[in-house]
Amino acid sequence: MSDSAPSRRSLITGATSGLGRAMATQLARRGDRIAITGRRKNLLHEVEAQLKSAGAADVLALPGGVDDPQCVAAHYAQIKQQWGGLDLAILNAGVGGSNNAKTFAAQPYLETFATNVHGVCNWLEQIIPDMIAQRSGTIAGISSPAGWRGLPGIGPYSASKAALSTLLESTRVELRGTGVHVVDVCPGFVKSEMTAKNDPNDMPWLLETEDGAARILRGIDARKRIVHFPWQLTWPLRHIIARFPGWLFDPLITRWSRS
């Protein structure tokens, strides 16, 4: 970066592990100023040191959860005080959630939506006005192909990602002409703390974390509306299975889940 071109001001939520940490590290190598958030303060400061070593122009470590509106407002106030605003916000913080309708419980849905949907809303409320005012900025939300159909066993997660993708789409359309670009990111299986709990045989085309992070950042740089990968998994899900009529989808997905 030259002295006349200040480094990009970037935010990554949920940066203590997995894709968030990998994306933050790759942005640090570009010389970005990076704000990172996460609940685990010790890991957050570990990532902070890593980003400084990797070449970040500046790092703000902001401990706390995205599901707390007051916490998010305080975090953005610190960012504004330090840098004046943001050029890139990657809203990555997310949790998994499972439930079975035969023993339906509301709590898994409430907890999953609190982070995966409300957490994004909390940040959008803070950052959109300033991005509109500066007539520039990119917002990327990390959603999932699991939101393209209602999947058995992971109803809370699937429903939250469907809501998030729809939220990002409506936000993108409403911000047309403002200079603010919105990206819906739907990665397939990527190695992380969340996917480490799964059976590898249930995760086709599992990607290394660094590879997944690089693909996301390339999609953001290309100003795509939707970033999804790997194509071997997401193309048939998006263009074939997502369009199955219910009479065909229901028995097929039931048989798959039982196997």
Structure confidence at residue 2 (pLDDT): 44
Q: Does the pLDDT at position 237 exceed 50?
A: yes
Against a cut of 0.85, is the pTM above it? yes
The answer to whether the CB of 210 falls within 8 A of the CB of 192 is no
Q: How confident is the model at residue 4 (pLDDT cuts 50, 70, 90)?
A: low
pLDDT class of 244 with cuts at 50, 70, 90: confident
Sign of CA dihedral 43, 38, 81, 68: negative
Lowest mean pLDDT among 3-17, 86-100, 167-181: 3-17
Q: CA-to-CA distance for 62 and 44, rounded, in angstroms?
A: 8
Catalytic center residues: 157
CATH class of segment(s) 9-258: alpha beta
Q: Residue 62: beta bridge partners?
A: 37
